[in-house]
């Protein structure tokens, strides 16, 4: 039989755990254990990756040697006061990620982690988060009254409820000195204005992409790169900017995920003088499957939908014979069905071995593709 003091203490602990869990749900982790299991890592590293609202992250130094695991709420150092964030990477994983992003910056220059978030820290943090929506709506009204040409996307309060960061989008330079004084006077906090792009705004708002999954920018992607229409043309996609645009209005970031594979696959595929001469007539090129290394042809006297699959090696052989004035009797010896094409010509192990021998940079691949297709690289950049 337990005493009343023990039962009271256990109820307080359970309540604190429930509060911590509710705060964890407000900040979704976007970092996975991508290296090795943590049981095999070195415990000497002091670098810890902390995630804040949305996908904002930072690296901090665990100088007090707090026992931290992924998902813990901690109070971290800021220029003035402290902020509350969630541990996303620790130990060797955090150290490798920090070295990859920050280079040779000394560890002792990182801001420090004060402590694990106490009950008082969590209450103040919850109060700060509850103000964000009201402040956002009121700030938009002030911007409209001042006639500023800017769009306010989000407001983020610091964990100690003493500072607010306003994220905005603007095409031109905006003089918001009057706005800052009005915001500081009305909300009694220090104000910081931070300009972002439409891709960052889409990551803050979130949503579901055309693939049916959560947007990359709101789930895991934090570094954005320029995507051009050439990425779509290389992958044989329709060059329709409206269909290839994401929720941010710019070209989808996923267009660059498989770009290197297509660029390498197109290195030895002919792109000029694709008509093939046979004894029965001229075969016209219709389309190319770069990954399967198959080119589809139709005869002049047949319908366009009656396609003949021809391997790339066979096409190059016929082109060499045509240059010598020799016409072949047929494009392929044994026409294959669609299922037989995949079995006969799609050999992943050979493709992997062939591509692994070519360690080329993306810009070199773009240059070779553009020169072979007669296009100038970088002239169709969008986004």
Burial letters 149-166, b for 16+ CB under 10 A, else e = ebebbbbbbbbbbbbbbb
In terms of average pLDDT, the best of 18-27, 155-164, 241-250 is: 155-164
Token reading at 243: 């269909």
Q: Which residues is 130 bridged to in the sheet?
A: none
Quick check: helix, strand or coil at residue 25? helix
Looking at per-residue confidence, does 231 or 371 come out higher?
231
What's the whole-model pTM score? 0.65
Backbone CA torsion sign across 41, 220, 231, 347: positive
Domain boundaries, the chain: 20-34+41-117, 123-199, 276-357
Convert the pLDDT of each residue in 249-307 to its tens digit: 888 988 988 888 898 888 888 888 788 988 888 888 888 888 888 989 988 777 767 88
pLDDT-based confidence at 192, cuts 50/70/90?
very high
CB proximity list for 38: less than 8 A, separation 6 or greater: 90, 91, 93
Quick check: helix, strand or coil at residue 154? strand
Q: How far apart are CA 31 and CA 219, in angstroms?
A: 9
Report the chain's C-alpha Rg in angstroms: 29
Token reading at 93: 């994983």
Q: How far apart are CA 28 and CA 206, in angstroms?
A: 12
Q: Which residues is 89 bridged to in the sheet?
A: 49
Neighbours of 64 (CB within 10 A): 11
The length of the chain in residues reads 383
User: Which residue in this structure is represented by tokens 């494009």?
Assistant: 331
Class of the CATH-defined domain 123-199: alpha beta
Strands (E), the chain: 47-51, 57-61, 73-77, 82-89, 113-116, 151-157, 163-169, 190-195, 276-278, 281-289, 294-299, 308-311
Convert the pLDDT of each residue in 295-354 to its tens digit: 899 887 777 678 889 899 899 989 888 888 888 888 887 655 544 444 444 444 444 444
């Amino acid at each position: 039989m337990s005493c009343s003091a023990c039962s009271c203490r256990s109820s307080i602990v359970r309540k604190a755990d429930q509060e911590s869990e509710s705060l964890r749900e407000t900040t979704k982790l976007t970092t996975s254990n991508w290296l090795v299991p943590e049981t095999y890592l070195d415990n000497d590293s002091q670098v810890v990756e902390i995630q804040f609202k949305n996908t904002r992250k930072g690296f901090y130094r665990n100088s007090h040697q707090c026992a931290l695991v992924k998902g813990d709420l901690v109070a971290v150092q800021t220029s003035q006061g402290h902020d509350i964030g969630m541990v996303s990477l620790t130990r060797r994983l955090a150290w490798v990620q920090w070295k990859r992003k920050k280079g040779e910056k000394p560890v002792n220059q990182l801001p420090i982690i004060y402590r694990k978030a106490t009950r008082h820290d969590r209450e103040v943090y919850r109060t700060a988060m509850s103000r964000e929506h009201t402040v956002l709506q009121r700030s938009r009204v002030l911007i409209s009254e001042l006639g500023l040409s800017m769009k306010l996307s989000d407001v983020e309060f610091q964990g100690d409820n003493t500072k607010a960061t306003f994220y905005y989008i603007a095409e031109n330079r905006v003089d918001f000195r009057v706005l800052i004084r009005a915001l500081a006077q009305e909300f009694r906090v220090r104000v910081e204005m931070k300009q972002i792009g439409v891709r960052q705004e889409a990551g803050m708002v979130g949503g579901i992409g055309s693939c049916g999954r959560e947007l990359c920018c709101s789930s895991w992607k934090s570094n954005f790169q320029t995507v051009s229409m050439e990425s779509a043309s290389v992958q044989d996609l329709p060059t329709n900017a409206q269909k290839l645009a994401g929720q941010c209005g710019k070209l989808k970031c996923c267009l660059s995920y498989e770009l290197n594979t297509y660029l390498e696959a197109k290195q030895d595929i002919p792109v000029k003088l694709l008509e093939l001469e046979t004894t029965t007539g001229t075969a016209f090129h219709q389309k190319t499957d770069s990954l399967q290394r198959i080119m589809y042809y139709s005869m002049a006297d047949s319908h366009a939908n009656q396609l003949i699959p021809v391997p790339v090696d066979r096409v190059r052989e016929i082109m060499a014979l045509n240059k010598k004035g020799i016409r072949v009797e047929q494009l392929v010896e044994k026409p294959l069905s669609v299922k037989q094409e995949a079995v006969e010509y799609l050999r992943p192990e050979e493709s992997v071995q062939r591509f692994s021998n070519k360690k080329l940079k993306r810009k070199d691949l773009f240059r070779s593709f553009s020169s072979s297709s007669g296009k100038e690289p970088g002239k169709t950049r969008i986004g």
